[in-house]
Copies of this chain bind each other. A is one copy, B any other.
């Protein structure tokens, strides 16, 4: 009809050539994942919607569904790309504990370097994407190199991954805009709670609200790795 005439009948070189399709670089999984990660970095997880990703690519939300299936799948892909940057080293029985700690620190840093992306990691708890499985595989190798039996290593990798993603999420919600303001708000709140009902919490307010760098994270890390090591033959010394 009219539309057909005005569309195909129109001089195509008007929008053909090298001008009309300047940003018509074809969509792809990779471009979509990159755009999504860019949005998370710039505006946080709350701003990440299919419409927003489409807009970032100069198109609409519907176009994305030819490549990603669902938002959940997109989040998995974004997470996997972040995990892809984590470098893995082969397990060394002599220093497996430090290797494990290092790997978890790196994973945590990778998550925290993308705003509150850790929120997605908490929900998608079971690692099914390639690079997430690479990390689990490497960690399993380290735990086994440390002499842990199969079941302990299996539970251990689950426990360590849970701890890392959960603390990363916790840290990302805390330090949202500015960490110091959050700490102050918390301390103010502590000053208002009734001391007679919560004697412990009020008297320990300083210790409870302390948040110096990664001290909290390292504290749990030490306990977990040491606890796992003690399960190994000769590891309890």
Contact = CB atoms under 8 A, between A and B. Distances in A.
Contact of A162 (B126, B134, B150, B166): B166
A65 B223 CA distance: 44
A207 B154 contact: yes
Interface in A14-58: none
A36 to B, nearest CB: 21
Interface string A203-216: 01011101000001
Contacts of A204: 140, 150, 153-154
Contacts of A128: 189
Interface stretch (A76-84, A96-104, A193-201): A193-201
Interface string A94-136: 0000000000000000000000000000100110100001101
Contact of A133 (B152, B170, B198): B198
B227 A150 contact: no
A157 B210 CA distance: 13
B219 A133 contact: no
Contacts of A200: 137, 140-141, 144
Contacts of A64: none
A42 to B, nearest CB: 23
Interface residues of A, number: 50
Interface in A165-203: 166-167, 169-170, 173, 186, 189, 193, 197-201
A137 B201 contact: yes
Contacts of A144: 200
Among A128, A152, A227, chain B packs the most CB atoms within 10 A around the CB of: A227
A201 B128 CA distance: 11
Contacts of A224: 223-224, 227
A151 B207 contact: yes
A111 to B, nearest CB: 15
B159 A219 contact: yes
29 contacts: A125-B173, A126-B186, A134-B197, A134-B198, A136-B201, A137-B198, A137-B200, A137-B201, A140-B200, A140-B204, A144-B200, A151-B210, A154-B204, A154-B207, A155-B220, A159-B219, A159-B220, A159-B223, A162-B163, A162-B166, A162-B167, A166-B166, A223-B224, A223-B227, A223-B228, A224-B224, A224-B227, A226-B227, A226-B230
